[in-house]
Structures are given as structure tokens and as C-alpha cells.
Amino acid sequence: MTGDCITGAQAAEWGLAVASAPVDELDAVTERLVEKITLMPVNQLMMVKLALNSALFAQGCRTRR
């Protein structure tokens, strides 16, 4: 919020990121997250995306180009 750079670990700790991983583990951590997401029902993923886009729109963020 101040324009200062923060680490991935700080972002995760502050709730600004889902997780953080060292660069040499990043692919494996990402794959595990993707595997979890693929287990979710498609309609649930669609509703989560709709809710997120609605919240961003309400805050004045564009969700489409």
C-alpha cells in the first residue's frame, strides 16, 4: 500500500497472497495448488470467479479489457 516492495513470504503472512515458496520449489507448490483447484466442481469455480469479479468491480477495478 506504500509502494514498497515486499517478499512473497511477507505477502503470504499479511494475507495478500495464498502462499509463498522458494524459487526452487515454486513449480511443485504451484502444481499442488492447481491439483486442488481441479478437484473443485466447475460451477463452484464459476461462482467464486463471479464473486471476485463483482467485488473488484464494486471497488472500481476493471475486470475486462
Domain boundaries, the chain: 25-65
**Which ranges constitute the DSSP H helices of the chain?**
8-13, 26-38, 42-58
With a cut of 90, say whether residue 44 has pLDDT above it. Answer: yes
- Compute the C-alpha angle 45/49/55, nearest 5°: 145
Question: What is the band of 51 on the pLDDT scale with cuts at 50, 70, 90?
Answer: very high
User: What percentage of the chain carries pLDDT values higher than 90?
Assistant: 69
- Compute the C-alpha angle 10/52/49, nearest 5°: 115
Residue-averaged pLDDT of the chain: 90
- Compute the C-alpha angle 20/22/26, nearest 5°: 75
The residues, any chain, with a CB within 8 Å of residue 19's CB and separated by 6 or more, are 12, 29, 33
User: What percentage of the chain carries pLDDT values higher than 70?
Assistant: 94
Give pLDDT, residue 63: 59
Give pLDDT, residue 34: 93
